[in-house]
Amino acid sequence: MQFDFLALYEALPALLVGALATLRITALSIAVGLVIGLGAGLARVWPNSFLRSISSAYIELIRGTPLLVQIFLVYFGLPALGLNLDPFVAGVLAMGINSGAYVGEIVRGGIESIAQGQMEAALSLGMSWWQSMYYVVLPQALFRILPSLGNEFIALLKDSSLVSTIAIAELTRTGQIIITRTFKSFEIWVGVALFYFIMTYAISRAVRYSEKRMRYSE
């Protein structure tokens, strides 16, 4: 068996389009996940026990069920409640909700890693809980959680392949479509893997660069 480089070369333009779609889905999902995760993480350390309970239930539920099932629930389940979503919107929403749970735990861990004396000192200066968290605790926590957030973004990019199950033409789905036309499974999957590697490597390098910049700015 010989590797068909020509088949891979001819598939590159289509795979590039699929890779860009994957980046778009991932970027939007990250944005949704960051908003939800920040809220969930703050709620986990909030003095109000009701909010802590709600946040904990959300995080445990999402982390305890597969992303694929969550995608199906959003795409196939919401129409039963009268809410029909475009596959792209459903995929981004499901992935964002899933990522939010993991980001929430990362944020909680980062906040709790800061010495309690930092919060107490800020409160003693007359700051409110919100002001103490925003100006004192969160900036320090952000530096500590950046590597974990980078890992979460990489995992989310790879998990975006699951939205191919609801017919979104991202990288994996594009590869499947090309294979049905060319029957070059090995060559096309090698191309798909290379694109995923390039994207995840770029994210990891960007996170490392951000860490260095934050370290130098201290």
Give tens-digit pLDDT for 5-33: 999 999 999 999 999 999 999 999 999 99
For residue 55, pLDDT over 80 is answered with yes
Closest among 208, 216, 96 to 146, alpha carbons compared = 208
How high is the pLDDT of residue 138? 87
The pLDDT tens digits for 71-105 are 999 999 998 888 889 999 999 999 999 999 999 99
In the chain, domain spans:
5-217
0.85 exceeded by pTM: yes
How high is the pLDDT of residue 207? 85
DSSP string for 48-117: -HHHHHHHHHHHHHHHTS-HHHHHHIIIIIGGGGT----HHHHHHHHHHHHHHHHHHHHHHHHHHTS-HH
How high is the pLDDT of residue 197? 96
CA distance 94 to 49: 27
The CATH fold assigned to 5-217 is MetI-like fold (1.10.3720)
For residue 217, pLDDT over 70 is answered with no
pLDDT band at 34; cut points 50, 70, 90? very high
Higher pLDDT among residues 93 and 133, named by residue: 93
Q: How many other CB atoms sit within 10 Å of the CB of residue 153?
A: 22
How high is the pLDDT of residue 147? 87
- Report yes or no: 64 and 75 within 8 Å, Cβ to Cβ: no
